[in-house]
């Protein structure tokens, strides 16, 4: 029986639950979240949605706080999930995106980059990794929570971690494919998009280092594609800050989990495969992820592009023990908001999460 566990059932995890409910080949879906709210109800709704589609899978929900590694490990040892779709975060970035901040403060927060909030995403993923270790279960973790940085830090700190991330670069690759299909009038089967890039490529566009190639019928057509246009408003502007775009990221996470569980190799793009920074074209299948880079790009060159791109998320480097060091620009911008942090160390994650929550409260009340 194939079991997938969803860790964190919020905006993204809720969509992942719905996709898994309808996915053939998954026989049991287990959901986990911290508070008593929403989890039982959403899991029951997913069960009913599965029945409408003709599935009679098993569903179960557990209220578990990832802070409690022993309880999480006991649950994992009992459930023995084949894959875990992880999206737990101490606080969703959607809250800040939707908060009423004055334009000056909003710009100051933006200068501090998404990387400022890293502890909120890294801490739950670290706790899950500890629980997987303690439970001694064989599973494939797909981490959707800021994978471009979180997966790298986790792999360095623990020597193992999520098989892949989700979303981010995959959304850019999908936009590029649809753009090329529209411009050439050719079906997807005739087009090969190859994109190396990071979370920042999605949020900041083509000023961020990346590598892009597209072939149509095997012939290089890269020069004919306006990637900046493909990644901006084409074909219509998207409202990124409501809950709906989470279907994209959750769909990507579920696609990666199912591909890892399948023996059929899937050519795709993935964010943060096996601890590498940023995203890459890759082949996923039978529990493995293999990079599928174009002939003119070596793996070390691709990783170097994404290391440079990480600076647009405020990340200077990630030390061998997983400590994440901020860029000077990011440090200055964070200090401007009243938050001093040179680097995020694993031992400091709980206190950093608390400090950021206090700061968030202060910033959002200042904006009202």
Ligand X SMILES: NC(=O)c1ccc[n+]([C@@H]2O[C@H](COP(=O)([O-])OP(=O)(O)OC[C@H]3O[C@@H](n4cnc5c(N)ncnc54)[C@H](OP(=O)(O)O)[C@@H]3O)[C@@H](O)[C@H]2O)c1
Of 1, 35, 236, 239, the residue at the interface with ligand X (CB under 6 A) is 35
Of 115, 119, 124, 273, the residue at the interface with ligand X (CB under 6 A) is 124
The CA distance from 277 to 226, in Å, is 25
Torsion on CA atoms 244, 97, 209, 159, rounded to nearest 10: -80
Of 45, 49, 60, 65, the residue at the interface with ligand X (CB under 6 A) is 65
**Residues in the chain, total:** 368
CA angle 147, 293, 234 (to 5 degrees): 65
Q: Does 315 bind ligand X (CB under 6 A)?
A: no
Of the pair 36, 187, the CB lying nearest ligand X is at 36
Q: Does 294 bind ligand X (CB under 6 A)?
A: no
Of the pair 297, 359, the CB lying nearest ligand X is at 359
Q: Does 23 bind ligand X (CB under 6 A)?
A: no
Kindly indicate which of the ranges 61-69, 153-161, 305-313, 316-324 contains the residues binding ligand X, using the contact rule CB under 6 A.
61-69
Of 40, 49, 93, 287, the residue at the interface with ligand X (CB under 6 A) is 93
The H-or-E segment that residue 303 falls in is helix 299-310
x-or-dash pattern for ligand X, window 242-281, by CB under 6 A? ----x--x--------------------------------
Kindly indicate which of the ranges 86-94, 227-235, 277-285, 341-349 contains the residues binding ligand X, using the contact rule CB under 6 A.
86-94
How many angstroms separate the most distant Cα atoms in the chain?
A: 56
Do 172 and 231 contact (CB within 8 A), yes or no? yes
Best CA proximity match to 97, nearest among 84, 108, 110, 82: 110
Of the pair 68, 190, the CB lying nearest ligand X is at 68
Shortest reach from residue 246's CB to ligand X, in Å: 6
Within a 10 A sphere around the Cβ of 290, how many other Cβ atoms? 13
Alpha-carbon 120 to chain mean position:
13
Shortest reach from residue 7's CB to ligand X, in Å: 7
Question: How are beta strands 211-216 and 191-196 bridged, if at all?
Answer: antiparallel
Q: Does 9 bind ligand X (CB under 6 A)?
A: yes
Of 139, 145, 198, 327, the residue at the interface with ligand X (CB under 6 A) is 145
Do 309 and 322 contact (CB within 8 A), yes or no? no
Shortest reach from residue 88's CB to ligand X, in Å: 4
What is the chain's percent helix, strand, coil content, to nearest 5? 50, 20, 30
Q: 111 vs 44, 104, 199, 241, 329, CA distance in Å?
A: 41, 11, 16, 18, 8
Q: Does 231 bind ligand X (CB under 6 A)?
A: no
Of the pair 34, 130, the CB lying nearest ligand X is at 34
The H-or-E segment that residue 288 falls in is strand 288-291
Shortest reach from residue 107's CB to ligand X, in Å: 21
Kindly write down the DSSP assignment for every residue of 124-155, as one continuous string.
Answer: HHHHHHHHHHHHT---EEEE-SSHHHHHHHHH
**Total site size for ligand X, rule CB under 6 A:** 30
Of the pair 168, 327, the CB lying nearest ligand X is at 168
Subset of residues 148 to 207 that bind ligand X, contact rule: CB under 6 A? 166-168
Residues that bind ligand X (CB under 6 A): 8-13, 33-35, 65-67, 87-90, 92-94, 121, 124, 144-147, 166-168, 246, 249
């Amino acid at each position: 029986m194939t079991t997938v566990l969803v860790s964190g059932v919020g905006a993204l995890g809720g969509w992942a639950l719905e996709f898994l409910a309808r996915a053939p080949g998954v026989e049991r879906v287990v959901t986990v979240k911290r508070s008593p709210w929403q989890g039982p109800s959403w899991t029951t709704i997913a069960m009913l949605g599965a029945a409408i589609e003709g599935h009679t899978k098993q569903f179960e929900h557990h209220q578990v706080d990832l802070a409690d590694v022993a309880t999480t490990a006991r649950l994992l040892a009992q459930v023995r999930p084949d894959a875990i779709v992880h999206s737990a975060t101490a606080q969703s970035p959607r809250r800040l995106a939707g908060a009423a901040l004055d334009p000056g403060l909003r710009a100051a927060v933006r200068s501090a980059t998404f990387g400022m909030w890293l502890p909120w995403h890294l801490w739950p993923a670290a706790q899950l990794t500890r629980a997987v270790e303690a439970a001694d279960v064989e599973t494939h973790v797909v981490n959707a929570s800021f994978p471009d940085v979180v997966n790298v830090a986790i792999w360095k700190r623990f020597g193992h971690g999520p098989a892949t991330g989700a979303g981010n670069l995959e959304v850019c690759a999908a936009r590029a494919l649809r753009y090329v299909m529209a411009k050439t009038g050719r079906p997807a089967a005739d087009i090969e998009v190859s994109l190396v890039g990071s979370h920042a490529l999605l949020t900041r566009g083509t000023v961020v280092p990346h590598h892009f190639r597209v072939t149509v019928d095997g012939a290089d057509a890269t020069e004919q594609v306006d990637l900046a246009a493909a990644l901006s408003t084409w074909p219509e502007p998207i409202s990124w800050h409501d809950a709906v775009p989470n279907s994209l990221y959750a769909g990507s996470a579920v696609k990666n989990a199912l591909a890892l569980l399948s023996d059929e190799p899937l050519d795709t793009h993935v964010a943060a495969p096996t601890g590498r920074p940023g995203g890459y074209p890759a082949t996923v299948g039978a529990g493995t992820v293999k990079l599928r880079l174009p002939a003119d790009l070596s793996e070390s060159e691709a990783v170097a592009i994404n290391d440079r791109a990480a600076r647009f998320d405020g990340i200077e480097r990630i030390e061998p023990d997983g400590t994440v060091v901020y860029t000077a620009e990011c440090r200055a911008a964070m200090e401007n908001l009243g938050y001093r942090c040179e680097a995020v160390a694993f031992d400091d994650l709980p206190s950093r999460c608390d400090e950021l929550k206090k700061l968030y409260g202060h910033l959002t009340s200042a904006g009202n």
